[in-house]
Structure 1
Amino acid sequence: MLTRRRRGFSLIELFVVLVVISILVGLAIPRMHGFKHQFYLTTMISDLRNLAATEEGYWSSVDSYSSDLNALRFNLTPGVWVTFVQADSAGWSATATHDDDTSHCAIYYGNAPPLPPATVKNFIGCSK
């Protein structure tokens, strides 16, 4: 008598594979959210650092800080928005936000008052 060779996968085997894949995806999605949040924070911090360097260059030639990004010839990363709170000859302060994230970062220089979450002059602080 000839025995037939089994071909393909049984329904149970396919179901087990789907369950394993679902578990792996369920573990990966929360981690991806954390990576995206860190990416948004990094872009805001980077833009504020670049803005600080640009402001210092502007101050060395004009003897005042500016709140006009066009005058500074400064381009923001897409999705990042900078709001100046103060910019004059005494100092400047600004906040950065991202379209896709609820946190924000801030910095202040010179004699500008502290701007939470930045609590140390010349250092960027970010909310969670």
Structure 2
Amino acid sequence: MDFLTEQDFKGTISTTVLNRLRGENDENLNEAEQLAISELATLRGRFDIDAELGKVGAQRNEEIKRMMVTITVFYLYNTVIDDEIPERVDSNYTKEVKDIRAISSGKMHTTLKPLKSSDGTNKSKFRSGGDAPRNNSIF
């Protein structure tokens, strides 16, 4: 795993189930983590996700860590055909994906630091300013 540690899964999935699903040489676990990283793609336009994923230990953003664990567990269950995904895992996944979309569209606040433009201001898809308001008065 690149970003997550085994300790991160504590409280989300039992160690027994994690060991059963992780696959030979952690193949399923690594694949699930990569799929979780791909779910964060919509945030890349506003936040430096690569820098966040490069952090280790206590420097990691708790919000990203929570999202990654939840989504990784969902995809981990998908790697084993015989196991049904628990309803709790499915609903948590749906919530996290909804949150990611809301954050990327600016409808939800986050603890992530926004990307900066070359002039030092926050990079945003929104523009401000424009022409002076029109005056349609005939007098």
Regarding TM over 0.5, the answer is: no
RCO (CA 8 Å, sep 6+): is it higher in 1 or 2?
A: 2
- Which is richer in helix? 2
- Normalising by structure 2, we get a TM-score of 0.23
- Which is richer in strand? 1
